[in-house]
Amino acid sequence: MLKILIVSGEPSGDFLGLSLIRGLKKLIQEQTSKQISFQGIGGPLMESEGFVSLIEQSRISKMGIIDILLNISDLLSDLNKITNYCIAWNPDLIITIDSPEFSFRLNKKVRKSLSSTPIIHYVMPTVWAWRPRRLQRISNFVDHILALFPFEPNLAREKHISCDFVGHPIVSKKTPASQDIAMLRKTLGVKMDAPLMAVLPGSRISEVKYNLPIFLETIKLVAATYTDLIFVIPAVNGMETIINNQVSVFQKSTGLPVLTFDQKSMVNASEFERMKFSLFRTAAIALATSGTVVLELARMGVPMVVGYRSHYFNELLIKLLVLTERANLIDIIAGTTGIPEFLFGDCKPQKLFEAIKEILNDPTVSARQLELSRKVIKDLGFGNISPGDRAAVSV
C-alpha cells in the first residue's frame, strides 16, 4: 500500500488536489499493482476520488492576519492534530497544497520526525508579489515545488530549489455543454434568453463579509440601468448561510432578482462545479472578488470587473508589503492592466458600476478583455498535457 498524505486548505486547493489524485492514480496504476491510500485534509472534490479527510477543510481556510488571529486557537489545534497523525501514519509522501501559513508550519514540524519522507508543495508561494525571502527558508522543509505559473521555476532555481511548471488546472476544465446551461437556467427558473450577471463575493467568510455588501449595493445601481439583467450568486461550501441571509434581506428591501445556489444543497461537489461553470459560461458579465475565480472566468470566456475589500489592518499590510501593482492574476501573468479592478478604498459601488456599464455598452471593450484572457489561459498550459497529469509525473 502506497500512503500519500495531502493537505489542502481551501476550495481552490480542493480542485488542485482532485486533478493531482486522478493523475497519480492513473500513472501509478499504469506502472505498478500497488494500491494507494490518500488521507489528510481536503474538500468534497478530493473526497469524491476516495480521499479521506480527517479535518473539515473549511476549518483551516483562513485568509489575512485578522482572520488567522481570530481563529488561532482552532488553527493551532488542527495543526497539531494533523501533524501527530502524519507522524503516526508515516506516509511514503507528503504533499501540501497552497495555504502556505498552515502548510509550511506542518512541513517544518513533520520534517523533524520524518526526515527522509519527501515533501512536495503544490503552488509556489507568491514570492513575486510579497515576502520574497520566504523562498530561501522553505528549502529547509520542502523538497520540490509544483508551480502553476511559467515564470516561477526560474525564481526557485535561483534559490537552488527543485521546481517544475505543471500548468494551472483551470486550463483542462471543459466548457459546459448546451444541455448543462439549459439545466442551470431551468434550475434557476430563468428563460434561455434572459441575460445573467454572475456575482462572486469570495470563497472565505472574511471575503464575503467585506465584499458582499458592496457587491449588493452595486447590483442596485446596475439593475436601475439594465432592468432585464438577473443576478446570480453561487455559494461555495461553508458560505451558504452568510450569503443566503444577506441576499434574503436584500431581496425583501429591494425586490430585485438576485438568485443563489449553494454547494450544500447539491448531490455532490461535482454537481455544484457543473452549475457554477455553466453560470460562468452563460453570464454576460461577472463581478468578482480577486482570486483564483478570475482564471475560472477567463477560461469560460466571461468579461469581468474585479473588486476587493478586507479588514483595515489587512489592507494596510498588503499596501506595505505587496510588490505587484495589480491584484488579479490575469494582469499579473500578462503584465497588463486589461482587467478593471478596484481595491480597498477604490472598491466602491459607483466605480464598480461604471466599469460594468462600460463593458456592457461597448462590445470592443469586452472583446479586448476576452482576447487577453485567451492569451493567459494559453500561457498557463492550455492545449498541452493536462496539469493534473503533469503534476503527477513531476511527483
Residue 320 in this model has a pLDDT that exceeds 70: no
Residue 267 in this model has a pLDDT that exceeds 80: no
Question: In the predicted model, what is the mean pLDDT of the chain?
Answer: 91
Split at pLDDT 50, 70, 90, the class of 208 is very high
Partners of residue 121 on adjacent β-strands: 96, 145
Number of C-beta neighbours around residue 133 at 10 A: 8
What residue has cell string 430585485? 256
Residue 323 in this model has a pLDDT that exceeds 80: no
Pairing of strands 230-235, 258-262: parallel
- Give the cell for residue 321: 508589503
332, 326 in Cβ contact below 8 A? yes
Strand, helix or coil at 288? strand
pLDDT at 17: 94
- Give the cell for residue 7: 493537505
pLDDT at 58: 74
pLDDT at 233: 97
pTM here?
0.78
Strand, helix or coil at 232? strand
Query: Tell me, what amino acid is at 156?
Result: A
Angle, CA 7 vertex, CA 333 and CA 201 arms, to 5°: 50
User: Mean pLDDT, to the nearest integer, of 199-222?
Assistant: 94
What residue has cell string 466602491? 348
User: Which of 122, 141, 286, 126 is CA-nearest to residue 218?
Assistant: 286
Strand, helix or coil at 22? helix
Split at pLDDT 50, 70, 90, the class of 63 is low
Residue 325 in this model has a pLDDT that exceeds 90: no
Q: Could you give the CA distance from residue 340 to residue 303 in angstroms, rounded to a whole number?
A: 10
Which has more confidence, 57 or 54? 54
pLDDT at 66: 62
Least confident of 71-80, 139-148, 238-247: 71-80
Please name the helix (run of DSSP H) or strand (run of DSSP E) that holds residue 304, with its range, or none: strand 304-308
- Give the cell for residue 371: 482576447
Which has more confidence, 91 or 74? 91
Could you tell me what percent of the chain has a pLDDT over 70?
96
Q: Which residues contact 47 (CB under 8 A, 6 or more apart)?
A: 53, 269
Q: Could you give the CA distance from residue 176 to residue 194 in angstroms, rounded to a whole number?
A: 18
Cα→Cα distances 26→114, 122, 218, 316, 393, Å: 27, 19, 46, 46, 10
